[in-house]
Amino acid sequence: MNYRGPGRVRAEEKPMPEILHPEDCIVKVLRSCICGSDLHLYNGNVPDTRVGSTFGHEFVGEVVELGSEVNKLKLGDKVLVPFNIACGKCSFCRQGLYGNCHESNPEATAVGGIFGYSHTAGGYDGGQAEYVRVPYANFGPTVIPEGMDLDDAVMLTDVVPTGYQAAEMGGIQPGDTVVIFGAGPIGIMAAKCSWLFGAGRVIVIDHNEFRLEFVKNYAKCESYNFKSIEDPVQFIKQTTDWLGADVCIDAVGAEAAGSAMQTITGRKTLMQAGSATALFWAINAVKKGGIVSIVGVYGPTGNLVPIGNVLNKGITIRANQASVKRLLPKLIDHVQKGTIKPKALITHRMPLRNVSDAYRIFSDKLDNCIKPILIPPTVKE
């Protein structure tokens, strides 16, 4: 996959990746996904996204080459690769903040390295490809447990941990009302996981009817279309005894719809780091003393959010890139026991050579798309 500019990607031959560090390995990709995060790149909203880059931070594959110091993997191992590149040794990694590693991104200190996610996230080529260079192979890649479906495994590289962490950061206490903005894969997973923390009520807000219907069944929660509600904040207040939700989760990020002013300043003219409509709603709809958990991704400059209300309401904001490696042991167990069934979210399987159409379908939410996966030509299914 090769990025050519906003809205333009194509499949193209590129040179084989090489081992550049003794702790690298090369992975032959068996499946990769397109993520809501890729849309920020696709739309040209992330600074330092260079033409010629390969995206893709959600992939599973087979180890085909090992650096001289890799001793935790062997050739032929089937691995799932967390989207964050983490050394496991810096003080951030040692505290479980694997999404904030200090030794994987020379270009910016504000974010750790991420596969296929612009030079602002380290300048790595990603997994929407046949082969990928995977650094810190002794630490990141995790051998896929015997019997686990590769479709479930690929969802453990990002979607499941991110949805889970969204709920975890919400500090959900038994009985809490949790409102989730966004019924994409991340919002759907956050809704599912909110129950695991003991939520009393889970409400999802979006404007895509198909996804709203899906999440209602998949996560057994309430779901509402913000297009048919005049004012989502007022609606949430009304339905929570006029107090607001205990926890609001932003699972939308920079491509949010729903406010012309935010869309024009955030998405069309890039005067702010993406459209902050969902975050705006989340801050205003949460109870006083409540928690806003942000997993929706925004750019590095700044956004129009009602920070005065954060102060006046005494809100706690928690946010991060998901710490995939920290959560994997628990979440692999949840998937193996059937507590979470992630592959149900995959609606489209497309050959990697159709990557241009796959991006269009996912970006415009065409053909009732929730999660598309790309299959490289070297893989026979």
Region from 66-74, 175-183, 310-318, 335-343 binding ligand NAD, contact rule CB under 6 A: 175-183
| 37 or 208: CB nearest Zn ion | 37
297 binds, among another protein, ligand NAD, Zn ion, none (CB under 5 to 8 A by kind): ligand NAD
Which alpha helices (DSSP H) does 120-208 contain, by range? 150-155, 159-169, 185-196
User: What's the min distance (Å) between Cβ of 166 and ligand NAD?
Assistant: 8
135 binds, among ligand NAD, another protein, Zn ion, none (CB under 5 to 8 A by kind): another protein
Site for ligand NAD in 25-44 (CB under 6 A): 35-37, 39-40
Among 42, 139, 214, 226, binds ligand NAD (CB under 6 A): 226
User: What's the min distance (Å) between Cβ of 173 and another protein?
Assistant: 13
Among 79, 295, 327, 375, binds ligand NAD (CB under 6 A): 295
Q: Work out the burial of residue 310: count CB atoms within 10 Å of its CB; fewer than 13 is exposed, 13-18 middle, 19 or more buried.
A: middle
Among 65, 130, 176, 206, binds ligand NAD (CB under 6 A): 206
Residue 107 as a binder of another protein (CB under 8 A): the answer is: yes
Residue 56 as a binder of another protein (CB under 8 A): the answer is: no
Residue 122 as a binder of another protein (CB under 8 A): the answer is: yes
Phi, psi of 79 (to 5 degrees): -125, 150
CB 101 within 8 A of CB 87: yes
Report the largest interatomic distance among the alpha carbons of the chain, rounded to a whole angstrom.
Answer: 62
The CA distance from 1 to 22, in Å, is: 26
| 7 or 234: CB nearest another protein | 7
246 token code pair: 């205990």
**Composition of the chain by helix, strand, coil, percent to 5:** 30, 20, 45
- Alpha carbon separation from 334 to 15, 339, 370 (Å, rounded): 38, 5, 22
Region from 31-39, 167-175, 225-233, 334-342 binding Zn ion, contact rule CB under 5 A: 31-39
SS3 state of residue 336: helix
Region from 56-64, 155-163, 231-239, 364-372 binding another protein, contact rule CB under 8 A: 364-372
205 binds, among ligand NAD, Zn ion, another protein, none (CB under 5 to 8 A by kind): ligand NAD
Among 126, 253, 266, 342, binds ligand NAD (CB under 6 A): 253
Phi, psi of 290 (to 5 degrees): -80, -175
Which alpha helices (DSSP H) does 247-291 contain, by range? 260-263, 277-285
Residue 328 as a binder of ligand NAD (CB under 6 A): the answer is: no
The CA distance from 376 to 31, in Å, is: 7
Element spanning 3, H or E: strand 2-5
State the first-to-last Cα distance of the chain, in angstroms, to the nearest integer: 20
The CA distance from 227 to 259, in Å, is: 11
CB 122 within 8 A of CB 105: yes
The CA distance from 36 to 34, in Å, is: 7
Among 258, 290, 299, 342, binds ligand NAD (CB under 6 A): 258
**CA–CA–CA angle 73, 78, 80 (5° rounding):** 90
User: What's the min distance (Å) between Cβ of 362 and ligand NAD?
Assistant: 7
The CA distance from 163 to 185, in Å, is: 8
Site for another protein in 297-336 (CB under 8 A): 299-301, 316, 318, 320, 323
Residues that bind ligand NAD (CB under 6 A): 35-37, 39-40, 158, 162, 181-187, 205-208, 211, 226, 251-253, 256-258, 277-278, 295-297, 321-322
Residues that bind another protein (CB under 8 A): 4-10, 20-24, 44, 47-54, 85, 87, 89-92, 94-97, 102-110, 113, 119-120, 122-125, 135-136, 168-169, 270, 299-301, 316, 318, 320, 323, 356-361, 363-364, 366-367
Residues that bind Zn ion (CB under 5 A): 35, 37, 87, 90, 93, 101, 103, 158
